[in-house]
Amino acid sequence: MDINPNNASIDRVYEVLADDHLPLYVRCGPAHIAQNLDRWFPGRAIPAGRMGLRQALEDWAIRCGTELSSGELLIGCRGLNLSDQYWVSPAGAPLDWAGAAVFSRFRTGRKS
């Protein structure tokens, strides 16, 4: 899958390993998976109005010396949402919960 790092748009899906594990909304046939994922993925973002988000992003910038765009934040959090079990994982990265433990990375400022 190709994800644009600036805005987290999904440009292309190369392979689906287990389509029965995709979110229901996305499972509308292989011809539309990239388009459906592109619609679904932005909804995974932390809402801009979430209490503490601005401070967390400022703290991140101070610790890491760089600011995050909303797309980079979404990709860095792998689209993980505490209300379900979906996330995206870079090729070659672990596909288990330990590999998706983004919350401890966000608190410590580690990028990967």
Quick: pLDDT tens for 17-52. 888 888 887 877 777 888 999 998 888 888 878 888
Residue 86 scores a pLDDT above 60: yes
**Over residues 70-97, mean pLDDT:** 75
The alpha-carbon radius of gyration of the chain (Å, integer) is 14
Q: Which two tokens stand for residue 107?
A: 């608190």
Residue 99 scores a pLDDT above 80: no
Q: What is the DSSP letter of 17?
A: S
* pTM attached to this predicted model: 0.68
Contact 33, 64 (CB under 8 A): no
Number of domains in the chain: 1
Residue indicated by tokens 């809402």: 47
Give residue 17's domain range.
2-108
For residue 100, report the phi and psi dihedrals to the nearest 5 degrees: -105, 15
Contact 23, 86 (CB under 8 A): yes
Q: How many residues does the chain have?
A: 112
